[in-house]
Structure 1
Amino acid sequence: MDRVTAAPAPQAEEAGEFLDPALVEEAARKSGLLWVSAGGAPARPLWHVWQDGAVVVVGDGAEQPLHGLADGQDALVTARSKDKGGRLAAWPVRVVELAPGGDAWRAAVEELKGKRLNAPDTDTVTDRWARECRVLRLETAGPTAQRPGAMPDGSHAARPLPSAATTRRPVPAGLPRLLLRRRGR
């Protein structure tokens, strides 16, 4: 009798790389924000859309700041799990700036316009984006750097970035007495 030998089972790493595109797409579609870092700068949250196999963002001008993202640059995108809130995946991307008015730009802007919440100029937002903002495609540029089963050790906690919106001040001297008095009632 002839023996039939099964093909060897793929290694866990090979199986993870096989699922990378699906994981990246699902994470990007379900997440409202992605954290993007480039050029050694701290990661910043960006709202986005998933369009034609890439993350698309609009920024600068009156929109979200795109610190450190430039055409042709490499960056790292991190997505969190919508269910658990923890880091789900991180993958390298290549930044491509779309020229205002081109076909790719118009298609991206139509997707972005549908996701832009509370725009001050809903009817003319695309005109403003063409004048003041940049539209970037963050195209996947390799296998995921982090994914379930391949996460680095450590918490990855980071101090909040400096901001004028910080309201942290010392606790007023009378506050502890006021709080204790309410508990006694």
Structure 2
Amino acid sequence: MTSAVLDEAVKKAALAWVSVGDGPALGVWCMPLDGSLIVVSGPGEQHAPGLAEASAATVRLRGDNGGLIVVAEMAVTRLTPGGEEWNEIAPQLAQKRLNASGTFDELAARWAADGCAIVRLTPSEQDTTAPDLPSGSGAAVPRETPARVETRRPFKLHRVRKS
């Protein structure tokens, strides 16, 4: 696998599948910046358990056709709120955050106050591999989640009479 494929996948990434340790790969939105990916997680933001505390993560990126093209081991660096990198990157990341209330500066300040983690995922060249794709579909049973929606019976305004 050439680094050109990884570089191109990182440049075009808006969504990455990130797994920490032996955990499952979770889809997170990200922002490409200078050959690395920037991800925010925490209260009120996306759920990425263990990412803020990790030193490395496995990242899967898709290509132009939407299929998996590269799997890379990336170094995880957490940005310090109020630090030079935080002050430079957080406003840029806030601009990419869809459906956020308030201004970009207010959003970045909320991330710092709520304890959200902004991490930089930097690829390491030696661990980049082409995915070994199976011949089957690869479908898996959905994981258990507390996010369940009860389905209700349809509302009927009038009783329908049988003739």
More helix by share: 1
Equivalent position SS for 2:127: coil
Q: Please list, as runs of the form range in 1=range in 2, the aligned pairs for 1:77-88 lying within 5 A after superposition.
A: 77-83=59-65, 85-88=66-69
Aligned position for 1:135: 118
Tell me the number of residue pairs that the alignment of Structure 1 and Structure 2 aligns: 149
Gap regions ≥5 residues in structure 2: 152-163
Contact 1:49 1:55 in 2 (8 A): yes
**In structure 1, the residue corresponding to 2:107 is in which secondary structure?**
helix
Q: Which runs of 5+ in 1 are unaligned?
A: 1-15, 170-185
1:69-80 equivalent positions in 2, closer than 5 A = 69-80=51-62
Q: Alignment identity in percent? A: 35
- TM-score scaled to structure 2, two decimals? 0.79
Aligned-residue offset at 1:91:
0.3
- 1:14-163 matches, cutoff 5 A: 16=1, 19-20=2-3, 22-83=4-65, 85-123=66-104, 124-132=106-114, 133-141=116-124, 142-146=126-130, 151-154=132-135, 155-163=137-145
Q: CA deviation at 1:101?
A: 1.0
Q: Which residue of 1 aligns with 2:161?
A: none
The one-letter code sitting in structure 1 at the alignment partner of 2:87 is R
Give the distance between the partners of 1:63 and 1:70, measured in 2 at CA: 13
The one-letter code of the counterpart of 1:41 is G
- The 1-side partners of 2:121 and 2:31 are apart by 10
- Whole-Å Cα distance in 2 between the matches of residues 62 and 52 of structure 1? 27
CA distance in 2, matches of 1:77, 1:24: 11
How far the C-alpha of 1:72 sits from its partner, in A, is 4.8
Decide whether the 8 Å contact of 2:55 with 2:75 is kept in 1.
yes
Q: Which has the higher contact order (CA 8 A, sep 6+)?
A: 2
| Structure 2 CA distance for aligned equivalents of residues 97 and 88 of structure 1 | 26
Question: Counterpart amino acid of 1:30?
Answer: K
Instruction: Report the CA distance between 1:47 and its aligned residue.
Output: 0.5
